[in-house]
A and B are shown apart, each in its own frame.
Chain A
Amino acid sequence: MEQRSGLAPGGLSPEDIAAKIKEKFPSGVTVTSVAPHRVFAKADRGALLQLCNFIKDSLNFEHVSCVGGVDWPAENKMQTVYHITSYANCATLEVVVDLPRDKPEVDSITPLWGGANWHERETYDMFGIVFLGHPKLERILNPEGTEVFPFRKDFVTGRRV
């Protein structure tokens, strides 16, 4: 079997990916740093879906590794963190999106990548972040009918729910 080395022929380096994202999104998306096989970025809530469409269609990002949530009550915000991988470029893009804590809503990326489906459901289940356009935003790990979002920082562990 022919051995493919770290980067497939014709693949983009992380620097190229960062440059293309910067060129396409002069505002709304900030590339914070670049490392071998990794690109780190922050995106506005409104720009996320456009960014995802762009990297899926033009930069060959075909796999969602992870979608997670973070709660920051001190700063009155929540975050969703996306790790999106490109098999062709052997690179992973981390996108952090800030959301207001009183109305945590963000566009779902499940219509683009089915792999995000259960990750988004879990993030909703644990943090109460609403993914707009998700096909089935229901409880997944907690039982149906749970009324709390247990991974929020203001959830008191040990109390009866």
Chain B
Amino acid sequence: MAEMWINMGPQHPMTHGLWNLRVKIDGETITEAEPVVGYLHRGWEKLTEHRMYPQIIPMADRLCYGASMSWSHLYCLTAEKLMDIECPERAKYIRTIVLEAQRIGSHLMWLAALGTDLGSYTIFLYPMRERELFLDLMQNLCGARMTYNYPRIGGVRNDVPANFERDFTRVLNHFEKKLKDYEALCDESTIFRMRTEGVGMLTPEDAKNLGVTGPNLRGSGVDYDIRRDDPYDAYPDIDFNVCTRDGCDAFSRYRVRIDEMYESCDIIRQAIKKMPEGPHRLKPPRNAPKGKSAWAHVEDPRGEGLMYIIGNGDDKPYRLKVRSPIFVTVSASPVMLKGYKVADVPSIMGSVDMCLGETDR
């Protein structure tokens, strides 16, 4: 049979955003794949060159609606390095807590999306239900459900609300029980395992060379986590495990994220316990030095997020470069897809956790 190209996207239930996966198939087998991105390109990096430093924080939220806290935090962290300030201890702990809550929220949204991809409506509904609890916590903290605009250059916007500790503890205790349900729902489902086990193989060598990061990298058995290996904020004081799996397939990537959610609960509990009293914010300088550059990278829920800023002597950056984890991971998708069937595409791409806002910027 002749080979032919199929466009999966830009409008396709598999894509979770606006992008196009071109696959070349021989019968049902994928022989070549080519992701096409750029449909959502807004010129984000150029836009920042015309904004004052604090004005970029809400823009950074919009890089990824699923993990907006980690992007605005990354921007603030980079700007702090550029301006040579360090945020107060209490702010570091608050940031650690909200980042981990964001990681759980983002992973839950991913699990829900994977559920719809694989045709299990229950795996969609349950995580969405529990994600709502974390959105409520965030709303209590800063008033917004998804685009928080909460970190600030030099700290966080406001101190934690009353009953913050009680609410978090309640939600985490409830959530950990529910997480066991999800595990049972997925791990013991024959359909789920058949569709994820042994598909989308990504060897550790390929994963490293192709720049795949985050849970996808750890699902290939590479033991690297920026939170531990280049720690920022309060992570140096917190004891946690880095979750890895050696399966290298879609199922391993799913397992890594489930394990990470347990670890995140643990990190939040530790951080709440250790959180010191004190100011939550300091006044940052308005301008950054001319020609000075700074960069920072963090463990985003999807992988390594990196920003690189150059100051211009005034209150606007000269250049701001963003490294988006999924932009690189999607470029590695042909390696994961080659040799599998068309029906495996949703589970392979679903296990990657696509987010187009940050990919196209």
Contacts and interface: CB of A to CB of B under 8 A. Distances in A.
B331 interface: yes
B208 A87 contact: yes
A37 interface: yes
B182 interface: no
B222 interface: yes
A140 B213 CA distance: 21
A118 B331 contact: yes
A10 interface: no
Interface in B295-310: 295, 297, 304, 306, 308, 310
A113 B45 CA distance: 24
Contacts of B50: 157
A113 B41 contact: no
Given A114-B332, A115-B328, A83 B38 contact: no
Contacts of B209: 62, 113-115
Contact of A87 (B38, B43, B224, B321): B224
Given A6-B229, A65-B323, A66-B308, A140 B37 contact: yes
Given A63-B211, A141-B37, 17 more contacts: A3-B241, A37-B230, A63-B208, A65-B211, A65-B304, A66-B321, A71-B319, A81-B321, A87-B224, A90-B229, A90-B230, A92-B230, A113-B211, A119-B323, A140-B37, A150-B43, A151-B46
A4 B227 CA distance: 12
A52 to B, nearest CB: 13
A118 B208 contact: no
B38 A141 contact: yes
A140 B35 CA distance: 10
A139 B10 CA distance: 17
Contacts of A3: 239, 241
Contact of B228 (A6, A114, A150): A6
B327 interface: yes
Contacts of A64: 211
A98 interface: no
Interface in A52-69: 62-66, 68
B210 A140 contact: no
Contacts of B318: 70
Contacts of A140: 37-38
A145 interface: no
Contacts of A71: 319
A118 B360 CA distance: 12
B223 interface: yes
A118 to B, nearest CB: 4
A116 interface: yes
Interface in A133-160: 139-143, 150-151, 157
Contacts of A68: 308, 319, 321, 323
B231 interface: yes
A114 B211 contact: yes
A81 B50 CA distance: 22
Nearest to B211: A115
Nearest to A56: B209
28 contacts: A3-B239, A62-B208, A65-B304, A65-B323, A68-B308, A68-B319, A68-B323, A71-B319, A81-B293, A83-B295, A85-B304, A92-B297, A113-B209, A114-B209, A114-B210, A114-B332, A115-B210, A115-B212, A115-B328, A116-B211, A118-B328, A118-B331, A141-B41, A141-B361, A143-B38, A150-B43, A150-B46, A157-B50
B306 A65 contact: yes
Contacts of B38: 139-143
A20 to B, nearest CB: 20
Interface in A79-136: 81, 83, 85, 87, 90, 92, 94, 113-119, 122, 126
A37 B81 CA distance: 14
A65 B310 contact: no
Question: Which of A5, A62, A115, A143 is most buried by chain B, counting CB atoms within 10 A of its CB?
Answer: A115
Contacts of B332: 114-115
Instruction: Identify which of A1, A5, A66, A92 gathers the most chain B CB atoms within 10 Å of its CB.
Output: A66
Nearest to A11: B229
A77 B165 CA distance: 53
A86 B328 CA distance: 17
Nearest to B318: A70
Contacts of B319: 68, 70-71
Contacts of A81: 293, 308, 321
Contacts of B223: 4
Interface in B159-212: 206, 208-212
- Give the interface centre of B45, B231, B319 by most chain A CB atoms within 10 Å: B319
